[in-house]
Structure 1
Amino acid sequence: MQTLNIGNVTLTWLSGGVTNLDGGAMFGVVPKGLWSKKYPPNEKNQIELPTDPILIQMNGKNLLVESGIGNGKLTEKQLRNYGVTRESEVDNSLANLELNAGDIDYVLMTHLHFDHACGLTKLVDGRYTSSFPNAKIITSNVEWEEMRNPNIRSKNTYWKENWEAIETQVETFDESWSFGAIRMIHTGGHSDGHSILIIEDEGEMSIHMADLMATHAHQNVLWVMAYDDYPMDSIAAKEKWVSYAIERKAWFTFYHDAFYRAVKWDLDGKIVEGIKRI
């Protein structure tokens, strides 16, 4: 498994599954001739998008960023429509680190779309139960409210199967949430309740833009998804936080990128350092 150290904080990518979604939807109004040079599609115009949670270990605590695509929850139709080629192996990944799901203290959810939240619950004897029974699940209040009361559009991605079994574990925040070297900040954009994650320790920094920058190919502030509910908010958040992070020589970490776990860009937008996905 691949790791990154930010000061005394260790990040480890787990195996949370693989989806393949329409490249045009993932890059919105950006012409295919541009985005396909940076992130090649397959013959169905789909691009590969892993769903790999990041385990953060610090101060004796285990925190998970996102939860993966889950296992055994999607129908055959859903598996086909979302181009799922591998379901979650988070339990196996944790076992390789001599941990189990009960050892997770916090699950940090940037948002609760199905491809991030399916791993929060699992089917046991025909009933949904919590995948991480001892964890506090952190998300923004706006996101949690929409999860439970989706609108005509968002009901396609906010599923009761992913929240009913874990609602007693959820703790929400308004603008920001902090724990040691970690900050979660509500940005909106991709969803109304979307948040990003910043880690700063001993002069080093990482930033997890989540689905505001799903892959390294989304670095351009104007390259936002057709899936974004509030694209102008996505652009504004990227304008603010991308420049903030690059000026501080931060690592940008990814949940969905098929090529990189993390990258550093210079002020000209060129990758100067990267951890390639293997």
Structure 2
Amino acid sequence: MDKWEIGNLKLSWLDGGVTHMDGGAMFGVVPKPLWEKKYPVNERNQIELRTEPILIQGFDGKNILIESGIGSGKLTEKQKRNYGVTDESQLVKSLEKEGLTTGDIDIVLMTHMHFDHACGLSRWEGEKLVPVFENAIIYTSETEWNELKNPNIRSQNTYWKENWEPVEHQVKTFKEEIEPLKGIRMVHTGGHSDGHSIVELTLESGEQVYHLGDIMPTHAHHNPLWVLAYDDYPMTSIYEKQKWIKPDTWYFFYHDCIYRAVKWDSDGQLLERVPRSPKM
């Protein structure tokens, strides 16, 4: 399990599964000869995208998760094949290594509720779906929550009732931004989805570190123009990336198969990096 300590915080990446998605879709209109120099691709034109929830400790003794993984036993064989799922979640085992259970999670921050982020919120108990993090408050934007419950012809393929109905009583929504705890801020950006949000963490030193969710799912998406074909509002993604990507600032990732966190200089060159271990 990878860990990263920065200032007063400790971040731990839990085993939430792995997908392999089409590289062309993940880089939109960017030609493959350009993006394949930045991120590895397999013979099926798929890129590896981790789905590893990030455990944050250091805020008032609370155990905080960003995202929930793809879960276990939630996908059909056809879905696993289509989404290139090679490993499902082992989140319970990851938490055990930290001396924790799912009941010890106090807060779950959901940048958005697409299946590869939200499947891990519920699990099967016999023939009934129940919450995984039974004691947690789950934060997501009001816009995201409303579309999740009433998806359109495009979003219905990724917003599944199995992921929200069991946890509806735990969800707290917000309009533009919210501070679940002092030093943690969620900001609604839109872009990838209409309700997409980012997470800003402020250290005791005053330094801020960011998780930009899927408007920058990997370090290879640093260029503001490199947005996903999956983005519902790509021009919004571009605008928000221009706004939030800053030099000499740490960014950490849920999907990246190479780095856990990176920092760029003013020319867009990698200044510092926290590599992902080859094996969890």
Q: TM-score normalised by the shorter chain: which range applies?
A: over 0.9
3-state DSSP of counterpart to 1:37: coil
Alpha-carbon distance in 1 for matches of 2:169, 2:6: 32
Alpha-carbon distance in 1 for matches of 2:52, 2:209: 17
Instruction: Indicate whether 1:163 and 2:174 are aligned.
Output: no
Task: Indicate the residue corresponding to 2:130 in structure 1.
Answer: 129
The unaligned stretches of length 5 or more in structure 1 are none
Alpha-carbon distance in 2 for matches of 1:7, 1:140: 28
Q: How does 1:38-53 map to 2 (within 5 A)?
A: 38-53=38-53
Alpha-carbon distance in 1 for matches of 2:137, 2:6: 23
Q: How does 1:162-241 map to 2 (within 5 A)?
A: 162-178=163-179, 179-201=181-203, 202-241=205-244
Instruction: Indicate whether 1:55 and 2:55 are aligned.
Output: yes
Task: Indicate the residue corresponding to 2:120 in structure 1.
Answer: 119
3-state DSSP of counterpart to 1:203: coil
Q: How does 1:250-269 map to 2 (within 5 A)?
A: 250-269=249-268
1:149-208 deviations in Å (ceiling 9; x for gaps): 000000000000000000000000001011211110000000000000011111322100
Alpha-carbon distance in 1 for matches of 2:72, 2:233: 30
Whether the 8 Å contact between 1:6 and 1:199 is mirrored in structure 2 is no
Deviation at 1:35, TM superposition (A): 0.2
**Where has structure 1 moved over 3 Å in runs of 4 or more?**
none
Alpha-carbon distance in 2 for matches of 1:106, 1:148: 21
Please provide the CA RMSD for this pair: 0.8
Q: Report the residue type matching 1:216 in the other structure.
A: H
Q: Report the residue type matching 1:66 in the other structure.
A: E
Instruction: Indicate whether 1:270 and 2:253 are aligned.
Output: no
1:20-62 deviations in Å (ceiling 9; x for gaps): 0000000000000000011121000000000011001121100
Instruction: Indicate whether 1:108 and 2:109 are aligned.
Output: yes
3-state DSSP of counterpart to 1:207: strand
Task: Indicate the residue corresponding to 2:86 in structure 1.
Answer: 85
3-state DSSP of counterpart to 1:163: helix
Alpha-carbon distance in 1 for matches of 2:217, 2:176: 22
Whether the 8 Å contact between 1:91 and 1:100 is mirrored in structure 2 is yes
Whether the 8 Å contact between 1:7 and 1:203 is mirrored in structure 2 is no
Q: % of aligned pairs identical?
A: 62
Q: Report the residue type matching 1:219 in the other structure.
A: H
Whether the 8 Å contact between 1:138 and 1:170 is mirrored in structure 2 is yes
Deviation at 1:2, TM superposition (A): 1.8
The unaligned stretches of length 5 or more in structure 2 are none
Task: Indicate the residue corresponding to 1:66 in structure 2.
Answer: 67
Alpha-carbon distance in 1 for matches of 2:182, 2:206: 14
3-state DSSP of counterpart to 1:171: strand
Q: Report the residue type matching 1:209 in the other structure.
A: L
3-state DSSP of counterpart to 2:12: strand
3-state DSSP of counterpart to 1:177: strand
1:209-234 deviations in Å (ceiling 9; x for gaps): 11000000000000000000000000
Q: Report the residue type matching 1:22 in the other structure.
A: D
Deviation at 1:7, TM superposition (A): 2.4
Alpha-carbon distance in 2 for matches of 1:73, 1:100: 20
Alpha-carbon distance in 1 for matches of 2:226, 2:158: 22
Q: Report the residue type matching 1:143 in the other structure.
A: E
Whether the 8 Å contact between 1:6 and 1:205 is mirrored in structure 2 is no
Q: Which moved more, 1:249-258 or 1:109-118?
A: 249-258
Q: How many residues align?
A: 274
